[in-house]
C-alpha cells in the first residue's frame, strides 16, 4: 500500500513538472513578444500628395443613382521602424482611397514602389502609391458624387482617406513574427481649377502622422 502511494506521488510530480515547464515556455514566448515586437510598431507619415484631374461625371439622367469619379493621385508614404534590433520584411502593400470613410473611389493603387522591401532597425523608407483612374473613372453612388462635387466647387479642400494594408515579418535573430498592420491616413488637399481642364487638383506636403492598427 505504501509503495503504491509513493508511485502515485511520483507520477503526480512529473505531471506538475511538465505543466510548469509548459507555463515557463509559454511565458517566455509572451515575454519575447511584448519585450521585442509589441512596443515597436511601425510609424507612417504622409510626406507628399499630389492630386490632379479630379472630376465627377454624373449619371445619364437625373434619376440615376450612380456616378463616376476620375482622378490621378500620387502619394509618398514614409514608413519608420523604431526598433533598434528588430528588422522588418514588407511582403505586400495594398492601398485603397476612400471619400468620407465609406465610398471607395480607388479600389487599389495602380502602382506601389517598392512593392516589397527589407527595412533595418531605426530606418525610414518611402513608399510611393499611385492611383490613376481616368475616364470613365470609378463608379460611386450618386449621393457620394454630389458631396464630393460640393467640396470641389467650394474651392477649399477635398478630404480623402488613404487605407493601406501591409503584410510584414518582424525578424529578431531566430524569432519571426508575422503581422498585418493597417495604416489610415487623412488627406486634406487644397484644390483649384486646373486651367482649361474640367477637373481640379492640388499638392500637399504635410508630414502628418497616420494611424497604425495591428
Residue range 113-148, pLDDT digits in tens: 999 999 999 999 999 999 999 988 999 998 899 999
Q: List the grid coordinates of 119.
A: 527595412
Contacts of residue 181, Cβ cutoff 8 Å, sequence gap at least 6: 41, 42, 166, 168, 212, 213, 214
pLDDT tens digits for range 86-121: 899 999 999 999 998 878 998 888 889 999 999 999
Contact 76, 48 (CB under 8 A): yes
User: What's CA 202's distance to the chain center, in Å?
Assistant: 23
Degrees to nearest 5, angle at CA 83 with 213 and 87: 90
pLDDT tens digits for range 199-209: 899 999 988 99
What's the pLDDT score for residue 95? 96
Q: Helices (DSSP H) in the chain: which residue ranges?
A: 2-32, 142-154
Paired sense of beta strands 157-172 and 123-141, if any = unpaired
Buried b (16+ CB within 10 A) or exposed e, 150-181: ebbeeeeebebbbbbebebebebeeeebeeeb
Contact 169, 177 (CB under 8 A): yes
Contacts of residue 173, Cβ cutoff 8 Å, sequence gap at least 6: none
Q: Is residue 1 predicted with pLDDT exceeding 50? A: no
Amino acid at each position: 500500500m505504501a509503495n503504491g502511494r509513493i508511485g502515485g506521488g511520483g507520477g503526480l510530480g512529473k505531471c506538475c513538472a511538465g505543466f510548469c515547464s509548459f507555463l515557463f515556455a509559454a511565458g517566455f514566448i509572451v515575454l519575447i513578444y511584448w519585450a521585442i515586437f509589441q512596443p515597436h510598431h511601425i510609424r507612417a507619415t504622409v510626406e507628399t500628395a499630389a492630386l490632379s484631374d479630379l472630376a465627377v461625371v454624373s449619371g445619364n439622367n437625373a434619376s440615376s443613382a450612380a456616378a463616376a469619379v476620375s482622378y490621378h493621385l500620387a502619394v509618398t508614404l514614409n514608413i519608420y521602424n523604431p526598433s533598434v534590433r528588430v528588422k522588418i520584411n514588407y511582403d505586400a502593400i495594398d492601398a485603397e482611397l476612400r471619400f468620407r470613410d465609406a465610398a471607395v473611389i480607388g479600389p487599389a493603387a495602380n502602382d506601389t514602389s517598392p512593392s516589397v522591401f527589407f527595412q533595418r532597425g531605426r530606418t525610414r523608407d518611402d513608399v510611393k502609391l499611385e492611383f490613376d483612374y481616368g475616364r470613365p473613372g470609378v463608379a460611386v453612388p450618386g449621393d457620394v458624387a454630389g458631396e464630393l462635387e460640393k467640396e470641389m466647387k467650394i474651392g477649399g479642400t477635398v478630404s480623402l482617406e488613404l487605407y493601406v494594408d501591409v503584410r510584414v515579418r518582424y525578424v529578431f535573430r531566430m524569432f519571426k513574427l508575422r503581422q498585418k498592420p493597417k495604416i489610415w491616413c487623412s488627406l486634406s488637399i487644397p484644390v483649384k481649377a486646373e486651367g482649361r481642364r474640367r477637373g481640379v487638383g492640388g499638392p500637399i506636403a504635410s508630414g502628418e502622422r497616420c494611424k497604425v492598427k495591428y
